[in-house]
Amino acid sequence: MKNARAQKQARRLLDEQKYAGAVNLIRDEISKGAGEQALAEEYLEAVNTCLESADGLLKTGDYPDAAQLFKTVLDGYPKFPELQQRVALTRPQVTDKLNTCAEKLMEAGLVAYRAGEFTRSINIWQQILAFNPQHQAALDAIETTKQQLSTLKTLEDKE
């Protein structure tokens, strides 16, 4: 019964093209004891469509949204080997794509930083923290840039 309700909810989300929502719902239901294999059809459709969408976003340069989808897939990656074999990318491949998003955002932040757009660079680097809160390079860059902004404000106030 529990699986049937979860299947119905997942199918509704899939029909509404809310693929990340379906992955999250299924992940939550599995953590509550629903059978991963009983939800296999919906699970695989949601995960593989998220990966397809994320790849499209990555190609267009929408790194924050691509990263969110890759992170959703990584967090909800199937545990059963039979299901894992039917996912378009392996866990390491999804991780690589997520790292690519972070690298591209780091680069964009550096471009903004070098152009003197410090607030914009901070905003770009904070997008990395949305999907990887421990990303040390982003944390360091934000801290350094905030210190520079503070120093600049102090100098302006003295003028």
pLDDT computed for residue 154 by the predictor: 83
Mean pLDDT within 84-100: 97
Mean pLDDT within 151-157: 81
pLDDT computed for residue 35 by the predictor: 80
113 contact partners, CB below 8 Å, separation of at least 6: 121, 141, 145
Q: Look over the chain and give the mean of its residue pLDDT values, rounded to a whole number.
A: 93
Contact 85, 114 (CB under 8 A): no
Q: How far apart are CA 49 and CA 128, in angstroms?
A: 23
The string of pLDDT tens digits covering residues 117-148 is: 999 999 999 999 999 999 999 999 999 999 99
Contact 37, 43 (CB under 8 A): no
Mean pLDDT within 142-157: 88
Q: What is the pTM of this model?
A: 0.90
Tokens linked to 72:
């959703």
Q: How far apart are CA 47 and CA 45, in angstroms?
A: 6
pLDDT at 84 over 90: yes
The single-letter DSSP state of residue 78 is -
pLDDT computed for residue 109 by the predictor: 98
pLDDT at 1 over 70: no
